[in-house]
Structure 1
Amino acid sequence: MDSELAAEASVRNELGGTVYGHSVQAQHIGSVSFHEAPAPVRIPGWPVPRELPAPTRYFTNRRRELARLAALLEERADVPDLVVLSGPGGIGKSATALHWAASLSGRYEGPRLHIDLRGDNTATALAPSAVLNRFLRRLGIDGRWIPADEEDRADLFRSLTAGQRILTILDNAHSVAQVLPLLTTAPGSLTVVTSRHRLSRLIRERGAHHIELGPFTADDAEQLLARVVPGRDMTGADSVARHCGGLPLALCVAAERMAVRTHLTWEKQRQDMEGDMGQDMERGMADHAGRDTDDQEPLTGIADASYADLSPDAARLYRLAGLRPWSTLTAQAAAALVGVSQQKAALLLEELAEIHLIGETASGRYRFHDLIRSHAEQRALREEGPARSAAAVRRLLLHYVDAGAAADACVIPGRWHLGPAYARLAPSPAFPSPAQALTWLAAERENLEEAVRTAAEYGHDELTWQLCETLWSLYLKQGFHQEWIATHRLGVEAASRCPDMPEAEGRMHTQLGFAYLGIGQFADAEREFTAAAEADGRAGHARGEATAVESLGLLRLKQQRYEEAADCFRRAKSLSTDPRALALLEHHLGRALTGQGRHAEATAQLTQAQGLMRALPDPYNEARVLTSLGETALAAGRPEQAEEWLALAAAQMAAEEAVVQQADIAELRARAAADPADVRRFLREALAFHERTGAPGAAEVRARLEALDADG
């Protein structure tokens, strides 16, 4: 059933390790309260991250600012330095930060991290928890050991970077609250924040150095133009520079246009920049973007001129792609948006990139600067009109629903799915392996989340909840809990308005409940699981109701309310007909009986579950049942019987290459062993497994081995 898969996908079951994203010490479920374990360690051999993008080769001037930055580093070598580069959009903050960072590569031997915080506005700004998830993975922490709670992630990030000279660039920050959890405390480290806002609180409370970037002088503007188009006659370039208002982004777009159109003169460029849209367009763009008109005007003219150079198909893609703040755009998505082949879409994206209207952030992925996206959006509203614009957005939403469903179905093949998108899937898997499907979902996560917001905003309720469904396996595996909660709240609301698919509401409540469970908000999780059971009951959806009740039972297990957990599992059994679901519920019920200390009944229950798993067959879950049998025998004071079951479990988990579970079983076998030599052998096995994934349990096992050696 889905909730059992959720328990597994959130990394570890209750026998130890990580339960729904929270690290806990491995102990018998019925005899000890869960508590925090030591922090995880890096995966052995993991490379030190070097993430800083290459600086632009056209970087110009900023001599005064660079001199100030260089002087700052000489002031305080024993504390972490924090620098804020602020200024309006397109002023060159990112380029300045990357240029300076490139000159410091020999100074920072530790990790060098970079992230675009997408702080153009509140809707697109990345949550600190998502950024910390990425940073921790880059630092070599296995995703299974990343805490669910944002504060815990921030603590772990600071612990991992302590004692290292780390260089971090937090690009395009929206607010101080977005930045604070991402700051290292390591002396001698440097964090550079770029933002359109001054972030005065960082200056006031954290002693950040602040440098504000202004427009280029006329000489510097002409120098930049000459660097992009070397060897060209610069007569008249000064007038183009004036029209760009000293804004580096506008200057680069103008120069790229000159580079592509080799016969274009600077005078003709100036004339084209004056354009035909006039002040109404400029003011409309500024009003829509929430910016002063003066900030937008320098870019409008050159954007209009470059837009006029586009082929009709590229111009249409430019317009329609600007309708929403997508994280990135791929050829697949572009093809769906404008209704052309993927090959044609790739050529259109290259055409846009060639004249700097869109930038390639990674191979095959493109992103607008938000000022240019605002221009594209206004063009769409003017030339496409509301109806055609809305139709294009819906086409792209359908692409993300179908592509997301295809990937999700591959990640956890055994789970049941809900919605028309899954019914449309081809019989053969869309991806060669679950890992590759998960990689695709992770790469498209921000776009899928934007698709949820867009579908909700456009009133496409049936697409809103289906998009949430496609994110289920990704969230289970990688634990973006804050994003999970935000999307699935929209999913719950949308599903409640879909009378043609009444079972969708319960589905969304259950999935939202697991998001709350992952961050330890038990009351919220209970509310959602209860609402799910009620909604599925009203809809007559027995399978969904069984899953919701089972989920509530797993919550009760986590709370050590074992009798209530057993009641939930019995009720779920009465609603279930699927053989695999029934086998899993038998296992759950056995665990609940173990928790109550009813060891003989638990053993009988678990033995029955083992037989059902073997008949399916499901060797992995059979090994989990054998592990539970071993735990029960240990709790009942029968270590020899425990070893028999645990040895069988270890063999099957080895065949399944389940490293995490092998580590847990080895620790349990050490508890069951009477001979000190066997205890040491199993602990060494457990340590080796833990170290392969950087598990937090490694520290405790190592300490136990050292204590045994000290005792002789």
Structure 2
Amino acid sequence: MVTGGDEGIFQRVGPVPAVWTADPPVPGYTDRTEQLAELRQFADQVRAAPAVVAVHARPGMGKTAFLRQAAAVLRDRFDICLQVDFAAWHRDGRVDMDGVLGGMLEALYVAQQWIPADPAGRHRRYLSLLEGQRVLVLLDNVTEPAQVEYLIPNSAHALVLVASHVRLHDLVATHRAELRHLTGLSTRHGVELLEVIGVGERVKAEPGETERLVEICGGSPHGLQIAAGRLRFQPWLSVAELVAELESEVVSNAGDPARTEGRHEMTKGLDSAYRALDADAASLCRRLAVLPGREFPERIIAAAAGIPVRVARPRIGVLVAMDLLEQVDGGFRMPDLVRMYAAGAAAAEDDPEELDRCRARVVRAWCAEAMAADRAVLLDRYRVPDSFEPVAESETAGLGKKAALRWFGRWHGSLLDVLRHAEAQQLDTEAWQLFEAMWPFYSTHSYLQAWLEAGALAVTCAHRAGAVAAEARVRCLRSRASMNQGDFAAAATDLDEARRLAETVDDGRRLLASVCDFSGQLAYRQQDFERALADFAQALAISEDLGDERGTGLQAQFCGRSLGRLGRYGEALTALDRAKLLLERAGDTRALSRTAFSRGEVLLAASREAEAVTSLHEAVEIANGLEASELVVKPLELLTELARRNGDQAAERGYLTAVVELHLAGGSPDAARYQARLQELSEED
């Protein structure tokens, strides 16, 4: 066939000879089996137009290797395969598309003298040669949709497979492209890759640390190859030591030149993605990399940039589109490799003082969110007066009680990191206020080690700031964790000092009542019920004098419990009935659950078992409604004991199953004891 016009010199006398320019597959290629199988099915479909599949991934995730593997998998479906790496055709900030087309025509056996000089002529020649052919086009490092559109063959049997670090959504509208996201290797396949590339024995010896290495690298084949290189050429370096180095680089730019160079090798593949960002998105990327915490809600990200949320959203969208941020439940996470890279960029490009101001803004924003969530759980409880104004309207302010507690659970890891950072940077007021705001969560969940650590940081900061009332308060809050751990001596030390401090505070009656409350709790746990009653009675008198209805209800409950232990059952039930009435008015459902439990204990001691069971079930029901697992355990344990005492094995088994689940979830050592009893019941059946 001879074409007319200025293409008369181009003559086709038959089909284009078989051409296959794809690089061979990477040796030892692992994973991606599901994506490759899906691609084969897609290639087999009958269609009326060429097909386009755009694969998006962060640099270093193996896009190029995926294209090579795909070409091998699809080898029997196509006669022609043309591969182009656009990174090789960048000239002065743009892609030389004339050169790209010229190279593709050469690959199709068009002699140099017959390649048209003008772009339009080259494009027409390209389309005419591939018309109707079974052709696979592999386009790597694409940066914009137009590059793809220019190279789509004129054949319904064609498949264009695109790899890019940007999301090419426009191709969906213009060519009905299929979009695919290539994530990092799974832990198993990441370990397999390390074994394949020569460090198999090393990683098998340290399986747990190897899994962490894959996690730090985000499953990036490039990052894992660099890590394997470190292990091969530094045989004295253990996987655990390499992991420790990399973990320090995630949060710090400090280190010797060799470690800095190693970090650069692992992250340099991100250069192209970072350079593609506009100034605002790049600035936000750098700031997120130096923040405390690993995951961030949208409002915290906005605080990092010092801008409103509505302004931050498009910038966040850019980072997500470039795979530099990952969407997680309720917020965003920066992958560790990206964090390393962006932290290095921040050290090189940003004013250290501005980064410090950024971190301080973020600490205050977290504190504002936590304080609002604390108030959402319970508005009317004693708190040390606030010392700073929230930096932004809180998104947690409108939450209900259960949602607010879930918020604390969701962000607990980040909040603890923020508290550590606040103490290190001497943001003392924010540190103790953040710990105080976390009290509703810690008091209803079994995070004892984190609770003690956070309390220690808060006490240090309050003391350093000379905040006497705050120090007394956070010592009280820490003492509860010590009590829960069974360390009564540490709790007593905190409470003795808290009482001494409270007595020096002007108008500190509410604070003193709180200290008496905690002291009574300690005496009660030590089974010194006379002393506990005296402490609770003192707190009750102060609360009544202040007109504090909720405080009065709480102390009436504690007095009732102590009276019950002293065998004064009538007085105890009167006090607990009063507590229930006052706490219902105050809307304190957590305290109502405890009151129902206390009433069940007293009724049981008074040999009123049926009423006791009813009250214990009420305590469980209220606590379940709050999703407060710690409040559920004790009434369930008591119900279990009652069922066992009465020989009701079916009821005992049901209660035991729930108790075991709760203890296991909280990491309690008591889980084994209850599991053993559950096993006994199974053997008796």
TM-score clears 0.5: yes
2:366 is aligned with 1:400: yes
Q: Report whether the alignment pairs 1:453 with 2:420.
A: yes
Q: Which moved more, 1:466-475 or 1:297-306?
A: 297-306
Higher relative contact order (CA 8 A, sep 6+): 1
The answer on whether the counterparts of 2:596 and 2:615 sit within 8 Å (CA) in structure 1 is yes
For residues 665 and 703 of structure 1, what CA distance do their matches in structure 2 show? Answer: 20
Quick one: distance in 2 between partners of 1:393 and 1:559? 43
Q: Distance in 1 between matches of 2:282 and 2:636?
A: 62
CA distance in 2 between counterparts of 1:605 and 1:692 reads 30
- Describe the SS at the equivalent of 2:422: helix
Alignment of 1:456-495 (within 5 A): 456-495=423-462
C-alpha distance in structure 2 between counterparts of 1:88 and 1:679, whole Å: 48
Q: Is the aligned partner of 1:585 residue 2:573?
A: no
Amino acid in the other structure paired with 1:454: H
Map 1:389-428 to 2 at 5 A: 389-420=355-386
Task: Tell me what 1:322 maps to.
Answer: 289
2:498 corresponds in structure 1 to 532
CA gap 1:419/1:315 in 2 versus in 1, 3 angstroms: farther
Q: Which moved more, 1:387-396 or 1:604-613?
A: 604-613
Contiguous gaps of at least 5 residues in structure 1: 1-52, 100-116, 127-284
SS in 1 for 2:295: coil
Residue in structure 1 matched with residue 24 of structure 2 by the alignment: none
Instruction: Report the alpha carbon displacement of residue 445 of structure 1 after superposing the two structures with TM.
Output: 2.0
CA distance in 1, matches of 2:548, 2:489: 30
Distance 2:661 2:260 in 1: 57
Question: Structure 2 vs 1, CA of residues 406 and 118 (structure 1 numbering), >3 Å: closer, same or farther?
Answer: farther
Could you tell which deviates more after superposition, 592-601 or 437-446?
Answer: 592-601
Question: Which amino acid is 2:355 matched to?
Answer: S
Q: Does 1:434 align with 2:404?
A: no
1:85 maps to which of 200, 210, 218: 210
Aligned 8 A contact 2:190 2:221 in 1: no
Within 5 Å, give how 1:570-649 maps onto structure 2. 570-576=537-543, 577-599=547-569, 602-603=572-573, 605-606=575-576, 609=579, 625=595, 628-635=598-605, 641=608, 643-644=610-611, 647=614
Scaled by the length of structure 1, what TM-score is found? 0.53
Q: CA deviation at 1:96?
A: 6.9
Pick one of 499, 505, 512 that aligns with 1:545: 512
* Secondary structure of the corresponding residue to residue 365 of structure 1: strand
CA distance, structure 2, for counterparts of residue 428 and residue 58 of structure 1: 35
CA contact (8 A) 1:660 1:690 kept: no
Displacement of 1:400 in angstroms is 0.8
- Listed as ranges, the matches of 1:685-700 within 5 Å are none
Deviations 1:457-493 (A, max 9, x none): 3222221212222322222233322222222222112
Q: Could you say if the C-alpha distance between residues 290 and 327 of structure 1 is closer, same or farther in structure 2, counting changes exceeding 3 Å?
A: farther
Q: 1:511 matched to which residue of 2?
A: 477
The answer to whether structure 1 residue 386 and structure 2 residue 352 are counterparts is yes
The alpha-carbon deviation at position 516 of structure 1 amounts to: 2.0
- Quote the offset at 1:701 in angstroms: 10
Tell whether the 8 Å contact from 1:670 to 1:678 is kept in structure 2 after alignment.
no
CA positional deviation for 1:559: 1.7
How far apart, CA to CA, are the structure 2 residues paired with 1:708 and 1:93?
46
The Cα offsets for residues 336-378 of structure 1, whole Å up to 9 and x where unpaired, read as 11123434433323433444545556674121425x4344334
Matched residues in 1 for 2:556 and 2:493: separation? Answer: 25
Instruction: Give runs of aligned pairs for residues 278-357 of structure 1, distance below 5 A.
Output: 287-288=254-255, 291-298=258-265, 303=270, 306-355=273-322, 357=324
Deviation of 1:301 after TM superposition, in Å, equals: 5.7
The whole-number CA distance in structure 1 between the counterparts of 2:402 and 2:504 is 37
When residues 610 and 313 of structure 1 are mapped into structure 2, their CA distance, relative to the original with a 3 A threshold, is closer
Residues 516 and 96 of structure 1, relative CA distance in 2, 3 Å threshold = farther
Question: Which of residues 331, 338, 342 is equivalent to 1:376?
Answer: 342
1:416 to partner: Cα distance: 3.2
C-alpha displacement at 1:327, in angstroms? 0.6
Partner Cα separation in structure 1 for residue 396 and residue 539 of structure 2: 30
TM-score, structure 2 as length reference: 0.55
Listed one character per residue, the Cα deviations across residues 655-709 of structure 1 (whole Å, up to 9, x for unaligned) are: 7866998997698789899x97999889978988998999999999999999999
In 1: Cα distance, 2:331 partner to 2:603 partner: 55
The Cα of 1:335 is off from its aligned counterpart by 1.2
Q: 1:366 and 1:524 mapped to 2: Cα distance?
A: 37
The residue that corresponds to 2:524 in the other structure is 557
Measured at CA, do residues 707 and 432 of structure 1 come closer, stay the same or move farther in structure 2, by a change above 3 Å? same
The answer as to whether partners of 2:376 and 2:401 remain within 8 angstroms in 1 is yes
Tell me the distance in 2 between the aligned counterparts of 1:620 and 1:325.
Answer: 32
Q: In structure 2, list runs of 5 or more residues that go unmatched.
A: 1-181, 225-241
Query: In the TM superposition, what is the alpha-carbon distance from 1:313 to its structure 2 partner?
Result: 0.3
The C-alpha deviation readout for 1:118-138, integer Å capped at 9, x for no partner, is: 956777999xxxxxxxxxxxx
- Secondary structure at the residue paired with 1:351? helix
2:356 match: secondary structure: helix
Q: Which has the larger radius of gyration?
A: 2
Contact (CA 8 Å) 1:613, 1:622: kept in 2 or not?
yes
Amino acid at match of 1:509: R
Give the counterpart letter for 2:550 in structure 1: R
Q: Flag the 1:584–1:316 CA change in 2: closer, same or farther, 3 A.
A: same
More helix by share: 2
After TM superposition, give the deviation of residue 311 of structure 1 in Å.
0.6
Find the aligned partners of 1:511 and 1:661 in 2 and give their Cα distance: 17
Q: Structure 1 332/555 Cα, relative in aligned 2: closer, same or farther at 3 Å?
A: same
Residue identity opposite 1:527 in structure 2: T
Change (3 A) 1:363 1:118: farther
Q: Is the 8 A contact 2:250 2:336 kept in 1?
A: no
| Counterpart contact for 2:295–2:331, Cα < 8 Å | no
Aligned pair in 2 of structure 1 residues 460, 291: CA closer, same or farther (>3 Å)? farther
Aligned residue pairs, count: 475
- In the alignment, is residue 365 of structure 1 matched against residue 327 of structure 2? no
- Aligned CA distance change for structure 1 residues 507 and 651 (closer, same or farther; 3 Å): closer
Separation in 2 of the partners of 1:448 and 1:351?
26
Residues 97, 479 of structure 1: alpha-carbon distance in 2 compared, 3 angstrom cutoff: farther
Distance 1:416-1:423 versus aligned 2 partners, 3 A rule: farther
1:551, CA displacement in angstroms? 0.9
Residue type of the alignment partner of 1:403: E
RMSD: 5.3
Query: 1:25 aligns to what?
Result: none
Q: Percent of aligned pairs with the same residue?
A: 22
Change (3 A) 1:464 1:595: same
Match of 2:465 among 489, 494, 498: 498
Amino acid at match of 2:435: C
* More divergent stretch after superposition (652-661 vs 331-340): 652-661
Q: Deviations over 1:242-278 (max 9, x none)?
A: xxxxxxxxxxxxxxxxxxxxxxxxxxxxxxxxxxxxx
Are the aligned partners of 1:331 and 1:343 in contact in 2 as well (CA < 8 Å)? no
Q: Is the 8 A contact 2:287 2:305 kept in 1?
A: yes
